[in-house]
Structure 1
Amino acid sequence: MVGAGLSGAVIGRKLAEAGHSIVVCDERNHVAGNCYTERDKDTGVLVHVYGPHIFHTDDEEVWSYVNRYETFMPFVNRVKTTSGGRVFLLPVNLHTINQFFDKTLRPDEARDFITSIADNSIEEPKTFEEQALKFVGRDLYEAFFKGYTVKQWGCSPTELPASILKRLPVRFNYDDNYFFHRFQGMPENGYTGMVEKILDHERIELRLGHRFTRAESEAFDHIFYSGPLDGYFDFELGRLGYRTLDFERFYYDGDYQGCAVMNYGDLEVPYTRITEHKHFSPWEKHEKSVCYREFSRACEEGDIPYYPIRMADEKALLQRYVERASQEQKVTFVGRLGTYRYLDMDVTIREGLDTADAYLRSLAAQQPLGSFFVNP
């Protein structure tokens, strides 16, 4: 398993339980990948070191799986956004609409009102901007979506495909739960402890601070690779595009913003959001606070890749790498980086469990698993 994040841990554990001897390696000196958590030594706050990760799923089997290794505490993500010097609720809901337009609309009235201000001349939205204008109109788009999107993706929303805004989160009630899923929560002692427990098996050997090279493949029956797809091939066809994040960490004596996540929709504010990490563990009490200002920019060599861009040029290059990967005999590319897809944690775990099952079936049938269980 190349990578000690969720993909490597989940696949490795299932195959270890099936009797295989597993080596899990990671070039970082810790497990859990980007969902790594640790206690801040000055405040005692549990910090999401690479940015916040909130677990949410409708997959009951995945929910049961993570609760085998860590107690998940109730947590509802209630995001706020600052725009034009005012604070609003996200996703856009009935309270947001009434507050923004200084109205007291009922649900049906709000629905009709939004329809009246939406750009109904757009029949088939092709860009992010057209998608937003068609569903909420220019005022809400410019207040909550335009500036944030420019900062997050580094380009105009007119250059982004409508698919990025697959479903516009607008609710005509007062529900401010950011997610729709049945199961939502946070691991009581952090994701690091959970992943450590998943990897705690007598047949699993963990090698941290170890950078995998293709030359090592000969020593193994199969490689599950969750590092960057282009990195496996030493970027020989070029680099796939990603956005990365920079975090400006600061401390506050007390409660800085009163919520876990505060977005900033105005383009004049250089960061996309501020996260206050003690609010991700509301069952704990801390006098002092640890906060992150979050900045998005183009990923360069040596940076941590976060969000695959997947624009036309990247998709063309991705196809070339997929074709190159299909020539590999005993390597399967998995996870967010291995398949160049944005994946929530529950989907990563589901695909890990299913990939391990597929590998066991392929062994029983004496058939190769293939380079991708999920084709990117």
Structure 2
Amino acid sequence: MTAHFRRRMERAVAQAADAGLTGLLITPGPDLIYFTGYRPTAITERITMLVLDADHDPHLIVPVLERPDAVKAAGAGAVTITDWADGTDPYAAAAGLLDPKGRYAVSDNAWALHLLGLQEALPGSAYTSMTGSLPMLRAVKDTDEVDRLAAAGAAADAAYEQIVGVRFAGRTEHQVGTDLAALLVAHGHSQVDFTVVGSGPNGANPHHEMGERVIADGDMVVLDFGGLKDGYGSDTTRTVHVGEPTSLEREVFDVVREAQQAAFEAVRPGVPCEEIDRVARDVITRAGYGEYFIHRTGHGIGLTTHEPPYLVAGERRPLVPGMCFSIEPGIYLPGRFGVRIEDIVTVTADGGRRLNNTSHDLHIVA
């Protein structure tokens, strides 16, 4: 396992050099988990930071009281652990490992307190955000990561297969959402991040989540849900209908389904990320609903639910085997209803593979 984390660190240092950076400063959160497997039990004002650069062995700076936990991390054998004690200057300890005039990429969720401390200790240094400077750092997944994402997707699929069997009409969105969250946990999720249950006009808000509206016969209902299973994310959307839909509802649903399928079929190595967005958007625009598709077509997923790559106009980076992302076009008619269909997809050597495999048909619920 140590070699596994070491390879990730070496690859990151090479990417940083290619980007004209001195190195990387990794703070608690998904980046630190990715490179070391270390997840501090308490993220506090005490600085914890992994320093990666080409001129030194990897160093993990930790508070002395947290050193035992850091030593137990899966990738601890790939780093030298340096500790500091309360009452000493942690930034002086960190500064000794940095180039006084270096330029570093810093984890997006680093505390401003720590970054300002480093700037004060090393006024000639410079810092940039990890996503801004190295957006593809965690974007290409290895086989183990894809397997974990597939397992999370299968668990979310199992939850969906069960939720469509419960009664919707006469119950609140919150009640259905609570059932859905419980099913995610029952199928192995350690964390539920969101349960969108958008019924009727609430479905026209892509991030409605769940409220106290009572679901009624004749409602279209958007179900978007996900969380973490074994450290990796799930995120899927299906749209169901209570009772028989109108001709307009069926028309809109069919347009979204066609757009989602067309976008999936466009996935292959070398295709720019923005092309997947364009393909989905073209289908919806040709059908006359372009103004009602109000978000990007997709986002990357891994240790976090939203991460690069993003499938959006202007993102010209090419797809690479191992990238994993959502494809989730939607149409949202204000005051009426919304429709979205979402799968997580991974890029393969010659196309794409869905990690969500429940039916795309319009499911009729009671």
Same fold (TM over 0.5): no
| Normalised TM-score (structure 2) | 0.22
Higher relative contact order (CA 8 A, sep 6+): 1
